[in-house]
Amino acid sequence: MANRFDERGFLVIPDPRELRRERREKKEAENKVIVVKSAYCPNGHDLMWDYASFCGYAGIRIGAEKPNGEKGEIVLSPIFGDHSRISLGIKLIDGEKLKLFCPECGAEIPVLTKCENCEQGEIRVLSLARNFDIANGIAFCDVVGCPSSYIVDSGELIEQAYLEG
């Protein structure tokens, strides 16, 4: 407890505005987690793939199947807010909903919630920890070209769904 009283003997209490500012700054700092370093399928397969590089960071490789049955892979940027994406073996067409699965074991990438930014999209989630944890993950819409088809924090989406619910 340092300086509970100032030099004139007045009790020093924390300024609520100061506290609010500190809290806001802390929140902003927490939001600066900008690059995903790990992403796992429900069976614990590591999906980071350094054969594709996004500003020097490894991409997130996911198996994808188009509505016409063509199968390939997509590689998402690991950088939050970055819309760049690579497709391997399939041509992506805006508005098409993809089946997404682990390229190692074929497990379907789990659905977190319905997408709010497109008609038929579902938000898929990958875990940041090997032991699959939906709350500690990253999420993205499975419809090509949807504004939500790049990665966001799944924890935030869960919080949002909770608040709206």
How many residues lie near Zn ion (CB under 5 A)?
Answer: 15
Both structure tokens of 105? 């074991």
Point out the residue whose Cβ comes nearest to Zn ion: 121
User: Quick one: which of 52, 146, 151, 157 contacts Zn ion (CB under 5 A)?
Assistant: 146
> Does the protein bind Zn ion through residue 105 (CB under 5 A)?
yes
> Does the protein bind Zn ion through residue 141 (CB under 5 A)?
yes
Q: How far is the CB of 49 from Zn ion (least distance, A)?
A: 13
Q: How far is the CB of 126 from Zn ion (least distance, A)?
A: 10
> What DSSP letter does each residue of the chain carry, written as one string?
---SB-TTSPBP---HHHHHHHHHHHHHHHTT--B----B-TT--B-EEEEEEETTEEEEEEEEE-TTS-EEEEEE-SBTT---EEEESS---TTPBPEEE-TTT-PBPPEEEE-SSSSS-EEEEEESSSS--TTSEEEEESBTT-TT-S-EEHHHHHHHHHHH-
> Does the protein bind Zn ion through residue 120 (CB under 5 A)?
no
User: Quick one: which of 52, 100, 102, 138 contacts Zn ion (CB under 5 A)?
Assistant: 102
Span from 68-76, 92-100, 114-122, 127-135 in contact with Zn ion (CB under 5 A): 114-122
34-53 residues in contact with Zn ion (CB under 5 A) are 41, 43, 45
Q: Quick one: 43 or 160, whose CB is closer to Zn ion?
A: 43
Both structure tokens of 119? 């008609």
Name residue, tokens 């993205």: 140
Q: What is the C-alpha separation between 81 and 34, in angstroms, rounded?
A: 8
Q: Quick one: 12 or 105, whose CB is closer to Zn ion?
A: 105
**Binding region for Zn ion (CB under 5 A):** 41, 43, 45, 102, 104-105, 107, 115, 117-118, 121, 141, 143, 146, 148
